[in-house]
Amino acid sequence: MIAPANGKGKKKPAGSLKEPCVSPQEFSRGVEFVRSLDPKAGLEPTLRNIARLASRLAGGDGCLIHLLHRERNLLEAACRQGAGREFAAPLKPGRGVSGSAFRQKKPVSASNLMKEPAEPWARAAQKEGFTSALSLPLRGRQSTLGTITLLRREARPHGAVELALLRALADQAAVAIEDARSYEKLQERLKTLSREKKREGQIKTFLENIVDRSADPIMATDLHGKFTFASRGAEEMFGLPKEELLGKKISQFYTGGEREARKIMKVLAKKEKLRNYETEFVGPGDKTISVILSASLLKDGQGNPVGTLGVTREITEYKNLLNHITRTEQSYQKLFEAVNDAIFYLNREGYFSTFNRMFLRMTGYTEKEIRSFHFSKILHPDDIPMMVNDHQKVIRGDYAPERYTFRLVNKEEKVIYVEGNFRRLKEKNVVVGILAVLRDVTEKIRLEKELLELSITDGLTGLHNQRHFYTELDKEMERVKRQHTPLSLLLFDLDDFKVFNDIHGHLEGDKVLRSVAQVVLKSIRRMDSAYRYGGDEFTVILPGASQVEASQVAERIRKTFETTPYLQQIKLSIGLVEFDPQYDLTNFVKHADEAMYTAKKRGGNQIFIEN
- Taking the C-alpha atoms of residue 496 and residue 334, their distance in angstroms, rounded to an integer, is 73
Name the phi and psi angles at 545, rounded to 5.
Answer: -100, 130
Residue 541, pLDDT score: 95
Instruction: Point out the domain boundary residue: 159, 188, 217.
Output: 188
DSSP character string of 135-154: EEEEE-SSSEEEEEEEEESS
Average pLDDT over residues 184-200: 70
What does the pLDDT average to over 71-88? 90
Mean pLDDT lowest for which of 10-24, 262-276, 306-320? Answer: 10-24
The answer on pLDDT for 331 being more than 50 is no
d(Cα 327, Cα 344) in Å, to the nearest integer? 23
Residue 223 has pLDDT above 50, yes or no: yes
Are both 294 and 420 inside the same structural domain? Answer: no
Position 320 scores a pLDDT of: 66
CATH number of the CATH domain containing 245: 3.30.450.20
196 lies in some domain: no
Judged by DSSP in three states, 403 sits in strand
Average pLDDT of the segment spanning 293-322: 81
Q: In terms of domains, do 305 and 354 share one?
A: no
Evaluate if residue 358 carries a pLDDT over 60. yes
- Based on the fold, state whether residues 529 and 393 are members of the same structural domain: no
| Average pLDDT rounded to a whole number, residues 248-265 | 89
CATH of residue 506's domain is: 3.30.70.270
In the β-sheet with 144-152, what is the strand arrangement from edge to edge?
2-4, 108-110, 132-139, 144-152, 62-69, 74-81
> Is residue 331 domain-resident?
no
Boundary residue ending a domain (383, 411, 445): 445
**How much is the pLDDT for 591?**
94
The answer on 381 and 489 residing in a single domain is no
Contact 95, 121 (CB under 8 A): no
Q: Is a pLDDT exceeding 80 seen at residue 402?
A: yes
Domain tally for the chain? 4
| Confidence band of 520 (pLDDT split at 50, 70, 90) | very high
Angle between helices 585-601 and 466-483 (to 10 degrees): 110
The residue among 422 and 321 whose pLDDT is bigger is: 422
Instruction: Tell whether the model's pLDDT for residue 316 goes beyond 80.
Output: no
What confidence tier does 496 reach under pLDDT thresholds 50, 70, 90? confident
Residue 162 placed within a domain: yes
Q: Is the pLDDT of residue 380 over 80?
A: yes
Q: What mean pLDDT do residues 441-458 have?
A: 79
Mean pLDDT across 459-484: 91
Asked if 415 and 510 sit in the same domain, the reply is no
**At 10, is the pLDDT very low, low, confident or very high (cuts 50, 70, 90)?**
very low
Both 522 and 543 in a single domain? yes
Residues of the chain with pLDDT > 70, as a percent, come to 89
- pLDDT at residue 199 tops 70: no
Task: Please provide the average confidence, as pLDDT, over all residues in the chain.
Answer: 83
Confidence at 11, pLDDT banded by 50, 70, 90:
very low
Q: Output the pLDDT for position 303.
A: 82
C-beta of residue 356 within 8 angstroms of C-beta of residue 327: no
**pLDDT over 70 (residue 337):** no
pLDDT of residue 449: 78
Q: Phi, psi at residue 227, to the nearest 5°? A: -60, 130
Do residue 43 and residue 174 come from a single domain? yes
In a domain, 323, yes or no: no
Q: What is the pLDDT of residues 27-45, one digit of tens each?
A: 777 777 777 778 788 889 8
**Is the residue at 329 inside a domain?**
no
- Do 180 and 214 have their domain in common? no
Tell me: pLDDT of 339 over 70: no
> How many angstroms separate the Cα of 506 from the Cα of each of 90, 498, 509?
90, 10, 5
In a domain, 325, yes or no: no
Among the ranges given (369-383, 412-426, 449-463), the one the predictor scored with the smallest mean pLDDT: 449-463
DSSP bridge pairs for 488:
542, 578
> CA–CA separation, 563 vs 566, rounded Å?
9
Q: Is 559 within the bounds of a domain? A: yes
What is the domain-level CATH number for residue 27? Answer: 3.30.450.40
Instruction: Give tens-digit pLDDT for 558-606.
Output: 999 888 887 888 889 999 999 999 999 999 999 999 999 999 999 999 9
Residue 195 lies in a domain: no
Note the pLDDT tens digit of each residue in 42-65: 889 888 888 888 888 787 889 999
Which residues constitute the domain of residue 532? 456-610
**101-110, 191-200, 384-393: least confidently modelled range:** 191-200
Whether residues 116 and 9 share a domain: the answer is yes
Same domain assignment for residues 601 and 495: yes
Q: Using 50, 70 and 90 to split pLDDT, how confident is the model at 3?
A: low
| Residue 39 sits in the same domain as residue 176 | yes
Average pLDDT over residues 288-293: 87
Q: Are residues 498 and 416 in the same domain?
A: no
Whether 244 and 221 have beta carbons less than 8 Å apart is answered as no
pLDDT at residue number 328:
45
- pLDDT tens per residue, range 130-168: 988 899 999 988 899 999 999 998 887 777 888 888 888
- The pLDDT of residue 588: 94
Q: How far apart are CA 203 and CA 310, in angstroms?
A: 7
Q: What is the pLDDT of residue 180?
A: 87
- How far apart CA 220 and CA 204 sit, in angstroms, is 11
Cα dihedral sign for 182, 187, 188, 194?
positive
| Residue 16 confidence (pLDDT) above 50 | no
